[in-house]
């Protein structure tokens, strides 16, 4: 999964949504059929098949997705099929996931419940 995310990161693709740098976005983002990569700050709702929060990424709000990889910070409600929190990741809030992977060093604060999220 990480290898995939790095591939996506290094090859900027038109279809993928990237939120990078110092910018701050506020609102609702729908990635459509393509992934969303966040290395900036986002406050609001995200809907996409894949969401990757990079180390500098900071997301507050709600995420509804199939797979999430969190290297950065997330606070809020998370509904997904598969969640990966890497060693640098911090998750605060309510998590509903079917498959869960938390690396050593990751911080997860809040409630975790297992839910079958049907694929769209």
Partner 1 sequence: MDKLGSKTIIGASATFTGKIANARVVEVHGKVNADLIAEKVTIGEAGRFDGAIRADLVVVSGHYEGKMQAGSVWATATASISGKLHYETLQMDRGAALNCHIVHNWRAKTDDPEQSNAGNSDVPLPDASNKAKTGTVPSSSKKGV
Enumerate binding residues for partner 1 (CB under 8 A): 9-10, 12-36, 39-40, 44, 48, 54-56
Asked if 29 contacts 40 with a C-beta cutoff of 8 angstroms, the reply is: no
Q: How many CA atoms lie within 13 A of 6 on its CB side?
A: 3
> Minimal distance in Å, beta carbon 101 to partner 1?
22
**To the nearest whole angstrom, how small is the minimum distance from the Cβ of residue 73 to partner 1?**
16
Instruction: Specify the residue, 39 or 81, whose C-beta has the smaller distance to partner 1.
Output: 39
Nearer to partner 1, 2 or 23 (CB): 23
CB of 88 to partner 1, least distance (A): 12
78 forms beta bridges with 63, 95
Q: Alpha-carbon distance 71 to 46, whole Å?
A: 17
Q: Which residue, 42 or 74, is less far from partner 1 as judged by CB? A: 42
* CB nearer to partner 1: pick between 22 and 113: 22
Place of tokens 């609001």: 44
Q: Looking at the DSSP assignment, which residues form a beta bridge with residue 100?
A: 83
Give CA–CA dist 78/81, Å, rounded.
Answer: 10
In the complex, what is the shortest distance from the CB of residue 104 to partner 1, in angstroms, rounded to a whole number? 22
């Amino acid at each position: 999964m990480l290898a995939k995310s790095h591939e996506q990161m290094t090859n900027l693709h038109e279809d993928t949504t990237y939120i990078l740098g110092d910018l701050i976005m506020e609102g609702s983002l729908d990635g459509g059929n393509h992934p969303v990569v966040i290395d900036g700050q986002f406050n609001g709702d995200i809907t996409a098949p894949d969401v990757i929060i990079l180390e500098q990424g900071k997301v507050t709000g709600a995420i509804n997705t199939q797979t999430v990889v969190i290297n950065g910070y997330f606070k809020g409600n998370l509904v997904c099929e598969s969640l990966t929190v890497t060693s640098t990741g911090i998750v605060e809030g309510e998590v509903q996931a079917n498959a869960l992977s938390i690396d050593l060093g990751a911080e997860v604060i809040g409630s975790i419940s297992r839910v079958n999220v049907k694929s769209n």
